[in-house]
Structure formats: C-alpha cells, structure tokens
Chain A
Amino acid sequence: MEAIATRPAVSCCRRAAFTGVRHKSTAARTRRALKIPPHPSFLNSSSSTSPTDHTTTDQIIYNPPSSAASVFHTPFKFLPKSDPRRRANLASELLAASTTIQYPSSSSSSSTTPSTSTQPQSDAASSSSAEANPFPSIEGAPRYRARHHLTKADIEEMRRLRAADPATNTVQALSARFQCSKLFVMMCCQAPPERKEQVRAELERARDRWGPRRAAARDERRARMGMLFNGEL
C-alpha cells in the first residue's frame, strides 16, 4: 500500500497545481506511474534483511491461493492396510504425526527454517494430539460424553418424568439431570401428543410474527443448506 502512496505521478500532479498543468502526453509517464513494486509478502523477506545470505527457503506463496484438495486424493488415515501407498508412507508416518499435512506447531512460525520446525513437531507427536493442534476447534466439546452409566431404572425414571410434566422436564433439563446427551433423551422418551401440539402452536405463533423478509431469509437459508448437502454449492 505504501508503494501506491509514493507514486511519482501523484506528487507530480500536486505540484502541477502551482506550476501549470502537466498532461500525460506520452505513454512513458503512465507506464512509470503504473510500475508498482510487488507487495512485501511476495518478496523473500530473509534475502531483503541480509542480501548477502542467499539461502534457499522452501516457502512457497500460492497466488492464486490453492483450492480445496480433490476428494479423489485419499487421506493417509483412510487408506486400507493392504494399500501399497500406506506401506510406502508408513515410515514417515511413524516419524511424524501425520504424513498428509505437516503443520507448524505455532501459527506465527510460517517463515521458520525446516531445521527449527521439525523440532517442535516431534514434540507435538509425543504430546497429546488435542493440545498439539494449532488450529482452534469450532465445535464445542460434547457436553456429556457417552459413559453408558444409565441403568434401566434410570430410563424408566426419565420416561416417567417426561410423561408427568413435559413442560418442566424438557429434553434439555433431562439431559442435564441424567448427564447424558439430548439425543439419548430423545431416543428414550417422547413427549405426549398434547405437549407436541402445544410446542407446534407456539412455533406457529412465532412464525406468524415474521414479516416477509425474515420468512424469505429463513427459506433461503434452508434452501442453501439443502443445496449444500446435494453438492450444488
């Protein structure tokens, strides 16, 4: 961006307000004005700091950026035991945690030399995988992991509670009480039909309050999700 600010043509025009109008009569000035140095991220940063040191770095900048990997390329983990590609890559798999992608251990170390980057990765392989991964998870941890701790009596109790007072003992309340997932609660018991009708009526009332724009936006969102699942997006 600083290259654009220090264009010779811009300063030229500003001066021209005092001394007279200077037209771009030839193409030379335009060509010179449009000659912008590349963005610093495109330049080799290590060579600019120390011009005498001409070490080759294995850093590649993809411009345009790479697209998503083809689904016909099977990840290492998905290769069956008998596959020769798995046998060929098994040695490197044992050394590093993953042969498919070698990630740097910290997100800021994008320009580290290979000698320094291998050291933290071998450390990361020995430590637990969840801590080692530098990328943040976007899904919250499941609230209740399946522990298979509920007995038949517990399930009977859950059903009784749900049938007795479905408004208080909602799926969420039952899942918090019995320390199990909501899906498991829904697998165990069902709301009585009048409660279902009540919930449906509430939803209907809320839907009636929507204006045309909100309704259309929701419809579009649903359609977009459907297209995504059909592979059209």
Chain B
Amino acid sequence: MKRLRLDRWTGQLLLARPGASPASTPRAVLRPAVAAPRCTAVRCQSTGAVSQIPGEVEDYHDGTDPIRFPPLEQLPPRATSLPSPTPVRALQSAKLAALHARLSLPERLPLQTLARALVDASADENPQFNNTNLAFVGQTLINYHVAEWLMCRYPRLPMDILYAAMKGYAGPTALHHVARSWGIEHAAAPGGEVDPGLLQFSMHKPGDAITGFGYRRAEIEGMKKYKWRHGMSSRVVFDDDFGEVVDTEQSKEELRARADTEYGNEYTRSLAEKAYATCARAVAGAIYAHAGRDAAKAFIRAHVLSRTLDLSRLFAFKKPTRELSLLCAREDFEPPVARLLSETGRLSRTPVFVVGIFSGRDKLGEAAGPSLEHARNKAAMNALKSWYLYSPGEAVRVPSDMLADDAKPWEPAYIDMGEIIGR
C-alpha cells in the first residue's frame, strides 16, 4: 500500500492553513498543531507587520511542482499572506455572483460589499475588511423591525414571551438558519487565498465584534455564584435585545479555553452559528447602506419576519387558574368558574373530561384532559393564552410604515395596560 504524499497535494485545504510550514511532514499536517501558533497570517496592508516579518512577503509556496500541479486559480501576488481575500477577487467569484442573484439583491449592492459581509471578525481583525460594522447596522435594523412588528401584532405579550419571540425571529440560531438557507458555505479556514464567496471565520479565536446593546452588570459575579434573582425590570434596562445577561468576559474565556481542544465540539458549533448569524445581519446592513431603508425593510420582512414561529408554544405557567382570576379581577369580569362540558369514561382507565372556563356566560377557554384538575388547568392556560395572543389583525400597521411618502395618517396602535403578574 502506497503512502499518501500529503505534502505534494496542492488543494485548498493545505493552502488555507497559513500557519502550516512549507516543509511540513504528513503527520504534522494531520495532527492539529497545538504548540504552533495558529494565526501567523501577516497583514500586508499594515506597515507594522511588513516591517516585522520581511521574509514572508513572498508568495506562499508549499513545495509542490507548480508545472505538474498548477494552482486552481491565478491568485494575485501575496494573496496567501492576507487574512481575507482582496476585494478585487470578489468580481471573479462565481459563488458570490450566484449568491447575489439568488437573493435578488439590488443592483446597487456591489459584489465587493457582499464579499465583505462574508468575512467574520474572527477571520480578519481589521474592521475595514470584516463585516462588524455592517452586522451592527443590520442587527439594529432587524431587531427594530421584529420588535415593532411583534408589539403591534401581539400587543399583549408579556415581556419574557416577547423576549423569547424576539429571539425566535432574530436570535443567532434563527439567523444562522436563514443564512444557511441562502446557500452560504463556509471555508475550512480563513485566508487570503480562499474563494470570496465562502463564509470565513476562525475556529480558534472568537474575534472582537461588538454586535449588541446592553450593559455588563456590576453584580454579575454574585449572579453567577449565588444565582441572584434578576427581575424583568432590570432585564429591560441592563440586558441585551433578547433579555439575556451580557457576559462577554466569561464567554470569551470559555472559548479561549475550549477552542483548541478538539475539532467539532459545541463551542466550535456555536462559533459557526455566531458567524453565520453575523453574516445574515451584515447582508441586511449592506442592503441598507447601498439600497436604502425601504429595500432593507422589504428584505427583513421577506427573510426574517416571514418565518413561522408558533407563539402559543412559548408560554409556560406556574399557577394558571390564579393568574386567570387575577386577570378577571383586574378587568372587572365575573370571576372565572370551571365547568364540566362533557366527559366520558369517568370510571375507566382512560377518562376524558372536557372543561370550560366561564366568566359569567362567556366561555374564556376550553380543554380536554385525563382528569378534572388537568383539564381545568389546561383550560385556564388556554384562556390566558387567548388573552395574551390577542391580535388586532393580520395586516397591522407598524410605525415604520409612516416613513413612506404616501402614507395615510397614523392611527394609534393598541397598547395593553401591562402584565397581570410579576415574573
């Protein structure tokens, strides 16, 4: 059996590792180099890097015969020493043009900007070449549109359900799926020689990208150590757009500790998810920057708000009957009474009771359950959900509709008076 001459391969995989030494043995290629520094890519745009390592200015050469194994693509000089592909190469990338056409992006959005939206901050730390700025704009826009739509469409959602719904529409997991559904693929490792149509992020360093609002709490140590309660009011003030505690230090330390251990663990997956979500936000931000407000809004409506999220499954209750009687007391309804609508097999192994909750003669909710207590609680939960999920209509107007030139006068949206119980 012949030994594989890995050092003779000229594939993208080997080229994509800028840290690999030219005379690397096959074993060294296969094994993830723990001791060797991962990111020795040189920024040729910055003067400091050039002056420090003048020997690496020449093109990357892995020792193969360039006549027998010609490179797949004619790279510009010094491409392999860059952390991300040069903007010039965006015009030659078939993947990038295909992505542009597939998303029906406006003509005014150039391919170079789209290529920049695919470079994560972990791949290229220079904010002039990565997508941090675009992602920040895009995230702000996406969160704004999702929040105003949720508030006008479901005005009675409690704050924690609203946060969960925000995360379900615009959270990193949802945007990760959106970006995947666009057909974006990622490079195995970032570098100047990879195709600009591939998403580039590094598995080995988290990258410094500011992508959210929120404050770092002063009491975060106590919250982590003693599980201090943080109520909804403080979450509104301090935490990020999804009501989650801002804790950048801890996540970074975890990532630093775990990233280099093995390939394909949950941290690398979360890195990939973050990179994909950032990319989706950056595309929205790029559309806003080049094509304007209306195009960005239409894009967000089509790709983020059009997704199906079953809001009725986000709810969890602790004492639904009590919450419902508090609601009825607050709204001056008659106190709720659970009534047995029908039943079958009371003495059998599998009875079914249908219980309705009435306030006066109006039925508020109904549910079937295997016991009276189950059915009663479920009916109260259904009644509460139908209160919380009240909607003024399908095509509800949102405040940003008024930015159009021919907008009709604004009718005030329905605003609920507040939550029934504190959470």
A residues at B contact (CB < 8 Å)? 68-69, 71-80, 82-83, 97-98, 100-101, 103, 124-125, 129-130, 132-133, 135-139, 224-225, 228-231, 233
- Tell whether B316 is near chain A: CB-to-CB under 8 Å: yes
Q: Which residues of B contact A230 (CB under 8 A)?
A: 316
Q: Assess whether B364 is in contact with A138, with CB atoms less than 8 Å apart.
A: no
Q: Assess whether A135 is in contact with B356, with CB atoms less than 8 Å apart.
A: yes
Q: Which residues of B contact A124 (CB under 8 A)?
A: 361
Q: Which residues of B contact A228 (CB under 8 A)?
A: 369, 374, 377-378, 381
> Do A137 and B367 form a contact, CB below 8 Å, given A72-B389, A76-B362, A231-B315?
no
Q: Which 3 A-B pairs have the closest CB atoms?
A: A135-B339, A71-B385, A97-B361
> Do A75 and B363 form a contact, CB below 8 Å, given A80-B414, A83-B392, A135-B340?
yes
Interface size class of B (residues with CB under 8 A): 35 or more
Q: Which applies to chain B's interface (DSSP): helix, strand, loop or mixed?
A: mixed
Q: Which applies to chain A's interface (DSSP): helix, strand, loop or mixed?
A: loop
State the CA gap A103–B366 with chains docked (Å). 14
State the CA gap A133–B340 with chains docked (Å). 11
Q: Assess whether B333 is in contact with A77, with CB atoms less than 8 Å apart.
A: yes
Q: Assess whether B362 is in contact with A100, with CB atoms less than 8 Å apart.
A: yes
Which listed residue, B340, B359, B378, touches A77 by the CB 8 Å rule? B359
Chain B window 340-378, contacts with chain A (Cβ cutoff 8 Å), 1 for yes, 0 for no: 110000000000000110111111111111001010111
Q: Which residues of A contact B318 (CB under 8 A)?
A: 229
Q: Assess whether A71 is in contact with B312, with CB atoms less than 8 Å apart.
A: yes
Q: Assess whether A100 is in contact with B391, with CB atoms less than 8 Å apart.
A: no
Q: Assess whether A98 is in contact with B386, with CB atoms less than 8 Å apart.
A: no
- Tell whether B338 is near chain A: CB-to-CB under 8 Å: yes
Q: Which residues of A contact B317 (CB under 8 A)?
A: 229
Identify 12 residue pairs between A and B in the complex whose beta-carbon atoms are under 8 Å apart, listed by A's number: A68-B368, A71-B365, A72-B312, A74-B386, A74-B387, A79-B390, A83-B392, A97-B360, A124-B361, A133-B361, A135-B356, A231-B381
> Do A78 and B339 form a contact, CB below 8 Å, given A68-B366, A97-B361, A100-B362?
no
Choose among A125, A130, A132 the residue with the greatest number of B CB atoms under 10 Å from its CB: A130
Q: Which residues of B contact A72 (CB under 8 A)?
A: 312, 386, 389, 391
